[in-house]
Structure 1
């Protein structure tokens, strides 16, 4: 049947899908179990459970309980003959579950899988809850001797008719909005609403009114223009100031979770006129649907409703300043969750547009869940390691219990929330503390991969731009991974912890995909540490003096004062019984500094010890805003700035990390060719003003563009704006006067001269001190 024919009459088709009230599984039925982690999986009778990679774990533990409180393992033909190793994994959630179900975690029995095949399969014959536990001691993590991760896959015996994510808390009400319809509903102050895209690529217009205003005949509703102005962005996201506001700049809702990140606060809900003028008279539309739902509340009918268009993929094209649209980014089960900041009347639609790509050309349903006020939903956004990868929600860092006492300003860095700034100190105060004293920063979003096995060096020698054969144990080196064209895939620091054990600390999951592809046929394992090894950056001229107060090392590893630039050791806190951590002399500031990597459970203790000892040295916590200033002053490259797809290592200013004397590595041929006659060179510009140019701004010689800005900031030390720039080789000589174009490149120009980078300490003597 033609969808348009039914929509013209305002009839909604649901394709036979009815909400059954059953809890449906998340569409991505794969759970990763990292070392020292436990994953809970609810199963039903007939579900098939397969575990992939259990042979990589030292001893995978499985335990579980039926719905009536008995052990679930016998129904899986498994013997519960082991004790759960509570001390060897992050067991807080597990212990809470045990207590909630009337059990004692210390007495729970498990089965232990050792030396298993790469895959083993179980079939559930009873409903219940399983826990998959990958225990590992803290010492194993720090030394690089821990086992790897495994994956749990569930094939459901039967799916409910509606695919929904698992509830976020205690549900007060839920209902499905059939495609091409709308539904009004009430939210009490403190309650949460979760708006779920059932099938993916389905837009949902949203509007909210203050209930007290409607009672007085006043429409106090979301104002998209005010909202954009208040949050300083095209659309809100989770965070302290990420709210929807009314016309009086009073917040109505707080965005708590968002698994898509692409919505619209510019356009109207679809209108009858919009369809009529494209040749579709009588087409049902969201504006009329909203008016129909709000009529009982005394809201004046409108032919065009302003709305927040959730899951609507729009953007403004810089070339012509027009709003562009395309198919939605949302996937089945994606959602936005918001908390009501007042008593509200809300309305949501399932958009009927089948003549544009916005709903994937096939309008589907929207599902609404309302949660009670005592529900606690952690703020989060979606993170995907790759576009087609399973989603994970951003989490708090292992140091969050300490940093959250000092600031409420957090930003999402990959899959973790980290502090952006500490208001009591200020970004400028943090900057000077790093330059003159010592700072501590949560750098846990850094990716860590252990490369272990007889062929580890052979793999890394092929992949890395540095000569890894020359890397001694307890030494590190800054290196690059490049593709065949010489473009930088990722950068990072490689540490050698043993003859066949390396730790690669980098910025992107693309590193792992690249290494895994190259490792085909080699005797080597790439172990993704995930969140198991959070780390801190201790930077500044007083950092070594501070560490002397708390670091203990055994005789078989380098002592603190013997750790030279890019050296590494394994240390303990205070004495031989203290918590272990990996200590490297590295950082992202150009100052003397160290990085400390510890087990997740030990993170708060390590933070406390450093801050306590640092009080005598004027220590200050530092956020990402101050680090960005220092990073640019130090001339250090960043992804999607100095290096990006299509930019080779020399154009990214990273030629110092390329050893063309090596026999071979991926990208060498292209880099040899490009290095002989580079077309573009990375340089610095000292500007004659305090105006900071935008990333990507063009650089001009007279009226012709000759380069672009890759990063820029105002330097407190130089008391002027500075920029890292990529210039045509013909204009890259020091002292060349150029101008950076602002306001379309011609209405305003920022003058400056070309210089070398780093802007400060060009020989990096501070870091080597």
Structure 2
């Protein structure tokens, strides 16, 4: 979409387009530089350096040191502009930068005397780039400095991309060398396909298993060293692990351990950038290849047996193993199938030993099926000492081509960690599932009767700025932006050309040419940027998710609580004056307090507000809200309770009530598509006009008899025919019955229609249900209005 350099390409394997594989040629590296952060890369003489401003309007600051510690911008073919102004702050912004700072101090490199280069300081557009050349070896530090984020200023720093095209890349199997270690490794093993290597790991140490080229499986097994010394073989048992963890394989978080048959935890998974693995059965065996017609084929089970012989482990024909990166699945008939692995080059899992272990890892040699993408490659295993700051995380990518990001903590994470340990990964962040000492039901009633506070920071925020900002949003969103006043916000949908929904969210108008899009998915923000570039619009779409966090204060007492702590200037509405879908630029406490944006929005069906602030002010904001809320019975609120209140309120959720095959009318939010009153064309308009004229499905409410709560996706039947499916369901505490949201054929969508929810095969078990008015709770929105709107 114009945001790639000339040497970037999309990988093709025959007729298949595979954006997850390297899109850069051998010898070219891409290093993302986070907004407000920095990256350091070793450079050699002759290397070509490219710096790209991916989103526009972002200053780049470069500093280069030669091996003797001298800094001269001329070494990379640039003109120096004095000492780096933003580098020190950028180096302290993240763990990577702090490591760079420590390394610089240890080698005697003086940042204060560095000769910095500033790029894009006179403004830039998305995709602008500068090319430089290195005349000598050295260390290049690139940072993306920016001002301290202000929730009303829309000036958050954004990502830069650093590309290095090596003058002497050297040979590497598959085109890629292993990435740099995450710390100083105690053990560093390269395992070629068709090999297995065993190694000892002490309690507390970390094991990194890394897929160097991508799409390569690696069997892993671990034995209790203490048990081996006693003559007992106690290794990871997949069946025990699945049973105790309640899933096919453990994940970072609470349910993270791998167990032996004696129910002893041997290792726990700390980080996982891939997220798709196999624990169904055995490492590949001689018998598998023989039955496929390949007698004598090298196999992982025999390799494991040979290398474990050093610890007197008895041979086995087939080794049960945790097969990382192996993409297998079960179909409706319980048959196991496989496809290419999901892993990308550099993907890894990080384990921590819970006792002294003997471990073994393989690089699978299978080349007769998709197990390794038909191309076996190498695996890297590194062992790091205990005490490393490897925090639990899962890999997240904004798009298939984007670099992986670890699961992040929001600005409010420490505040909610005072109340719970039960955090789950949500959209690339850790969010509280429920609160210790409360639980979802207690939190639910607090929201309905008093007040709650919840972290909603993972919502995606994009600043849309420039003379054509309104025109872009008018074309990409279904609501009419021309009717939006400054200080007003609107709930709207984003649709594809065929009318299917991409996202839903709220657009805020901060000025004549200043908007903020707050949605559920990165895809909608990337879509805005791509459309702006394709249409040649004078507008910038800049990511702000990491620099703008938000909490929701919801419940009947929310206005009373916030009235005590929110200060607004005379030009802005007070808390009491703030109407539904309006916002105010405000501060906590008084004129000198932490700056915030306060909006009259929420996702609970109750009177409520959202507070947006910079991460540095998050604890100040939370503590003020918490202190004011205690006399009113406020408690913290998690995802489990949120799902309950939003179902009662008839509020839709991506992947359940809507997807790219569902239009806003089918999702129950047809009010976001004003076809009659919005005269302008917008993406999907023609398709939506056709769909509205000939509806097929409708989102309805269901009242369900009995106490069984159906699952999302359960079929809805009238006799033998399926006429719909459950999208969300719950047992409503306030209504005292099971309710659901469901998408059904319009023929059977009238209120009062008797239907049945099918379970087992849809025929053997039925739950009586009838179509009910939605939302089930407060159909006239009186609770949201809170006595006055």
TM-score interval w.r.t. the shorter chain? over 0.9
1:380 — aligned with what?
A: 393
Conserved in 2, the CA contact under 8 Å of 1:163 and 1:333?
no
What CA RMSD, in Å, does the superposition of the two structures yield over aligned residues? 2.3
1:533 — aligned with what?
A: 548
Q: Which of the numbers 230, 233, 258 marks the counterpart of 2:247?
A: 233
Whether 2:156 is the aligned partner of 1:143: answer no
Q: Which of the numbers 236, 241, 245 marks the counterpart of 1:222?
A: 236
Residues in 2 aligned to 1:500 and 1:741: alpha-carbon distance in whole angstroms: 51
Which structure 1 segments of 5+ residues have no match? 1-24
2:648 — aligned with what?
A: 633
Q: Which moved more, 1:127-136 or 1:102-111?
A: 102-111
Whether 2:478 is the aligned partner of 1:477: answer no
Matches within 5 A, 1:552-591: 552-591=567-606
Q: TM-score by structure 1 length?
A: 0.92
Q: Which of the numbers 122, 143, 154 marks the counterpart of 1:115?
A: 122
Q: Which moved more, 1:158-167 or 1:749-758?
A: 158-167
2:435 — aligned with what?
A: 422
Conserved in 1, the CA contact under 8 Å of 2:27 and 2:168?
no
Whether 2:321 is the aligned partner of 1:307: answer yes
> Deviation at 1:129?
4.3
Matches within 5 A, 1:33-72: 33-34=34-35, 36-53=36-53, 56-57=56-57, 59-63=59-63, 65-66=65-66, 68-71=68-71
1:328 — aligned with what?
A: 341
SS class of match (1:267): coil
Whether 2:685 is the aligned partner of 1:668: answer yes
* Superimposed CA distance per residue, residues 181-216 of structure 1 (whole angstroms, 9 cap, x where no aligned partner): 111111100011111112111111111110011111
Conserved in 2, the CA contact under 8 Å of 1:244 and 1:254?
yes
> Deviation at 1:719?
2.3
Residues in 2 aligned to 1:170 and 1:134: alpha-carbon distance in whole angstroms: 29
Matches within 5 A, 1:331-350: 331-350=344-363
Whether 2:779 is the aligned partner of 1:765: answer no
Q: Which moved more, 1:440-449 or 1:393-402?
A: 393-402
Number of residue-to-residue matches in the alignment: 742
> Deviation at 1:100?
5.4
Residues in 2 aligned to 1:249 and 1:516: alpha-carbon distance in whole angstroms: 51
Q: TM-score by structure 2 length?
A: 0.90
2:11 — aligned with what?
A: none
Conserved in 1, the CA contact under 8 Å of 2:286 and 2:296?
yes
Residues in 1 aligned to 2:507 and 2:238: alpha-carbon distance in whole angstroms: 47
SS class of match (2:553): strand
Conserved in 2, the CA contact under 8 Å of 1:201 and 1:330?
yes
Q: Which of the numbers 271, 288, 305 marks the counterpart of 1:257?
A: 271
Conserved in 2, the CA contact under 8 Å of 1:196 and 1:334?
yes
* Superimposed CA distance per residue, residues 669-712 of structure 1 (whole angstroms, 9 cap, x where no aligned partner): 22222223311110011111222111111011122211101111
1:648 — aligned with what?
A: 663
Whether 2:614 is the aligned partner of 1:616: answer no
Conserved in 1, the CA contact under 8 Å of 2:406 and 2:428?
yes
Matches within 5 A, 1:106-505: 107=112, 110-113=116-119, 114-115=121-122, 118-124=128-134, 125-139=136-150, 141-146=151-156, 149-159=159-169, 161=172, 163-318=177-332, 320-505=333-518
1:679 — aligned with what?
A: 696
1:734 — aligned with what?
A: 751
Q: Describe the shift of the 1:682–1:407 C-alpha distance in structure 2 as closer, same or farther (beyond 3 A).
A: same
Residues in 1 aligned to 2:624 and 2:44: alpha-carbon distance in whole angstroms: 47
SS class of match (2:255): coil
Conserved in 2, the CA contact under 8 Å of 1:193 and 1:371?
yes
1:84 — aligned with what?
A: 85
Conserved in 1, the CA contact under 8 Å of 2:32 and 2:159?
no
> Deviation at 1:323?
0.9
Residues in 2 aligned to 1:548 and 1:87: alpha-carbon distance in whole angstroms: 39
* Superimposed CA distance per residue, residues 335-383 of structure 1 (whole angstroms, 9 cap, x where no aligned partner): 1110000001111111111111111112111111000112221111111
Conserved in 2, the CA contact under 8 Å of 1:227 and 1:244?
yes
Conserved in 1, the CA contact under 8 Å of 2:219 and 2:324?
yes
Conserved in 2, the CA contact under 8 Å of 1:136 and 1:147?
yes
Residues in 2 aligned to 1:26 and 1:424: alpha-carbon distance in whole angstroms: 54
Conserved in 2, the CA contact under 8 Å of 1:27 and 1:332?
no
1:7 — aligned with what?
A: none
Q: Describe the shift of the 1:574–1:196 C-alpha distance in structure 2 as closer, same or farther (beyond 3 A).
A: same
2:728 — aligned with what?
A: 711
Residues in 1 aligned to 2:335 and 2:54: alpha-carbon distance in whole angstroms: 52
Conserved in 2, the CA contact under 8 Å of 1:144 and 1:497?
no
> Deviation at 1:32?
4.0
Residues in 2 aligned to 1:358 and 1:91: alpha-carbon distance in whole angstroms: 42
Q: Which moved more, 1:517-526 or 1:195-204?
A: 517-526
Which structure 2 segments of 5+ residues have no match? 1-25
